[in-house]
Amino acid sequence: MTKPYNPAVLLARIQSVLRRAARTEPPSRIEHKGVVLDVARSRVEYEGRGVELTRNEFRVLHLLMENKGAIISRQELMMELWQSDAFIDDNTLTVNVNRLRKSLASIGVPDGFLATRRGQGYLV
């Protein structure tokens, strides 16, 4: 900056630099209990074995792993998958979760990894 300078302009420039420096890339891999979700490749791995996930399987697992230990309601999952819970049959989400469980089981992930909390939702 050249002198003389306006203090308001100086503060705005400092804030701009700090904002750019604070930006962080979302993690390309999320791990929980030995299960690794590769966000960039839409793939899940466990103990050296891996499987590609469908779009809906990936979205469900990604949301659950981003919020590990927290119960995610069925409505939140429906909004994540279809951006609406109005015209989606409740069974459709159940089918997608069951497909995800089969994909996880195919690479040896223990059954209890993806848990259902009756009347509340799902969690990992």
Q: Could you report the average pLDDT of every consecutive run of 10 residues in the chain (124 residues)?
A: 75 81 74 90 91 92 90 85 70 90 92 90 90
DSSP 5: -
Q: What is the pLDDT of residue 111?
A: 87
Residue 6 makes CB contacts below 8 A (sequence gap 6+) with none
Number of H helices, E strands in the chain: 4, 6
Q: What is the pTM of this model?
A: 0.73
Angle, alpha carbons 108-110-112 (nearest 5°): 155
Q: What is the pLDDT of residue 87?
A: 62
Residue 28 makes CB contacts below 8 A (sequence gap 6+) with 38, 39, 40
Q: What is the pLDDT of residue 104?
A: 93
Helix (H, G, I), strand (E, B) or coil at 91: helix
